[in-house]
Amino acid sequence: MKNLKSNCLQSALIISLIMVFVSCSKKEDTVHGFTSTKPGAVPFVTTFISDINADTLSTYTTWLQNMQPRFMLSANRRNIAVSIKNKFIQLGLSNTVLDSFYITNYYKDTTYNTWQYNVIATITGSLYPDSLFIVGAHYDAILNVPGNPWIASPGADDNGSGVASLLEIGRVIKKRNFVPKSSIQLIAFGAEELNMDGSNDYTTKAMLGSKKIKWMLNNDMISFENHPNQPDWKVNIMDYANSAALRVSAENYVSMYTDLGKAHDTTANKEGDSYNFYLKGYKALFFISSASTPYYHQMQDVVGNCNFPYCREVTKVSCAMLVDQNR
Ligand SMILES: [Zn+2]
């Protein structure tokens, strides 16, 4: 009996140890809204993106909303670009520049000739400095009739949220002193709303230069989600004729690093800066909420109508792709 009891104790001890080991290795990271043991997830990347923070995204979006009007024909447009540039520099992205271009636009029967500005933050790659991985988002905003975008254009979801994602990715990269193998650019595009001029200028110049663009991810309207429960949250990833494989890869990152559902509705894929990259032959994707916002180009497109835990999850996807493919 004694031996049996001893064997039972030994067995119980071994079983207990196994259970502790299993429970430790399956530990869930509920704070950040996803399980750290998703198949295929790389611990380095999971840890890295766990720094992406909903409150910081909200703070950046509020800051952008308070700069209104952010209309591309407003006299303050250069000041806005300089403010975004200075924010990148404050975050430690010292290689941030304004890239200017001169355009003609027709708006409400009037011709406007203006200087416009892209804000480009570069983190130079250690091994392949001439290869570029790009995440972009436009910073200008507009207001539909009967609103007057010169007076007010809050543009929190469209597209303060996308610019906030760039700043947050930059903040986390600098916080961890991450040095990528290839160069990374975080680009806040100007002059998107009337004719997508910022991305047209950038890609036109890129074709004349020597840098190789590996891919571009466009974050535009990534904070509206009206489904109350996270299992119902979805990101729509729009691709182009040359980027179906990149979209499948991005969907895998969504599965590995977030609890978001995935949608693939390309109806509006010509309506964002990624389209100009496609037109020039580069691989690009367009990330947007799959929930349709009623506040599009309205005065109600404000921070109070945004969902920043959702925005955090979408931001994680771009960040995970940048970091995983450059570590
Ligand atoms: Zn937009």
The CATH number given to whatever domain includes residue 198 is 3.40.630.10
291: phi then psi, degrees, rounded to nearest 5 = -85, 130
Indicate whether 197 pLDDT > 60: yes
User: Once rounded to an integer, what is the mean pLDDT over residues 133-157?
Assistant: 97
Stronger pLDDT, 145 or 130, i.e. the higher one: 130
pLDDT at 1: 37
User: Once rounded to an integer, what is the mean pLDDT over residues 36-51?
Assistant: 91
User: Once rounded to an integer, what is the mean pLDDT over residues 29-48?
Assistant: 75
pLDDT at 246: 98
User: Once rounded to an integer, what is the mean pLDDT over residues 29-44?
Assistant: 69
How many residues would you count in the chain? 327
d(C-alpha 269, C-alpha 196), whole Å: 13
Residues less than 5 Å from ion ligand 1, measured at CB: 158-159, 220
pLDDT at 7: 41
How much distance in Å is there from the Cα of 287 to the middle of ligand 1? 11
How much distance in Å is there from the Cα of 325 to the middle of ligand 1? 27
Q: How many CB atoms lie within 10 A of CB 107?
A: 15
d(C-alpha 187, C-alpha 183), whole Å: 13
Counting the structural domains of the chain, the total is 1
How much distance in Å is there from the Cα of 245 to the middle of ligand 1? 24
pLDDT at 145: 87
User: Once rounded to an integer, what is the mean pLDDT over residues 110-114?
Assistant: 98
How much distance in Å is there from the Cα of 222 to the middle of ligand 1? 10
Residue 17 located in a structural domain: no
pLDDT at 37: 67
pLDDT at 2: 33
- Assign 79 a pLDDT band (cuts: 50, 70, 90): very high
Indicate whether 164 pLDDT > 90: yes
Residue 20 located in a structural domain: no
Indicate whether 5 pLDDT > 90: no
pLDDT at 313: 98
Residue 12 located in a structural domain: no
Indicate whether 240 pLDDT > 80: yes
Bridge partners of 113, per DSSP, are 104
Residue 104 located in a structural domain: yes
pLDDT at 19: 42
- Weakest-pLDDT range from 1-15, 162-176, 297-311: 1-15
Q: What percent of the chain has pLDDT over 90?
A: 87
Cis amide linkage into residue 146, ω under 30° from 0: yes
How much distance in Å is there from the Cα of 267 to the middle of ligand 1? 15
Residue 185 located in a structural domain: yes
Residue 73 located in a structural domain: yes
pTM for the complete prediction? 0.89
CA 138 to centroid of chain Cα atoms: 11
User: Once rounded to an integer, what is the mean pLDDT over residues 98-105?
Assistant: 98
How much distance in Å is there from the Cα of 154 to the middle of ligand 1? 12
How much distance in Å is there from the Cα of 163 to the middle of ligand 1? 10
How much distance in Å is there from the Cα of 126 to the middle of ligand 1? 33
How much distance in Å is there from the Cα of 159 to the middle of ligand 1? 5
How much distance in Å is there from the Cα of 290 to the middle of ligand 1? 14
- Assign 253 a pLDDT band (cuts: 50, 70, 90): very high
User: Once rounded to an integer, what is the mean pLDDT over residues 181-201?
Assistant: 98
Structure-token pair, residue 152: 């007010």
Task: Show Cβ contacts of residue 65 under 8 Å, excluding neighbours closer than 6 positions.
Answer: 154, 155, 156, 160, 302, 303
How much distance in Å is there from the Cα of 269 to the middle of ligand 1? 12
User: Once rounded to an integer, what is the mean pLDDT over residues 13-40?
Assistant: 48
pLDDT at 21: 40
How much distance in Å is there from the Cα of 133 to the middle of ligand 1? 21
Q: What percent of the chain has pLDDT over 70?
A: 89
How much distance in Å is there from the Cα of 144 to the middle of ligand 1? 13
Residue 4 located in a structural domain: no
How much distance in Å is there from the Cα of 297 to the middle of ligand 1? 9
d(C-alpha 249, C-alpha 215), whole Å: 12
How much distance in Å is there from the Cα of 137 to the middle of ligand 1? 8
Task: Classify residue 208 as exposed, middle or buried by CB count within 10 Å of its CB (0-12, 13-18, 19+).
Answer: exposed
pLDDT at 14: 42
How much distance in Å is there from the Cα of 3 to the middle of ligand 1? 73
Cα torsion 31, 36, 42, 45 to 10°: value is 0
How much distance in Å is there from the Cα of 4 to the middle of ligand 1? 71
Closest CA to 285 of 192, 213, 193, 227: 213
Indicate whether 3 pLDDT > 70: no
Domain that holds residue 63: 30-324
User: Once rounded to an integer, what is the mean pLDDT over residues 210-216?
Assistant: 97
CB 235 within 8 A of CB 247: no
Closest CA to 125 of 214, 11, 255, 36: 214
Residue 10 located in a structural domain: no
Q: Which amino acid is at 68?
A: Q
How much distance in Å is there from the Cα of 112 to the middle of ligand 1? 21
pLDDT at 72: 98
Indicate whether 25 pLDDT > 60: no
pLDDT at 283: 98
How much distance in Å is there from the Cα of 220 to the middle of ligand 1? 5
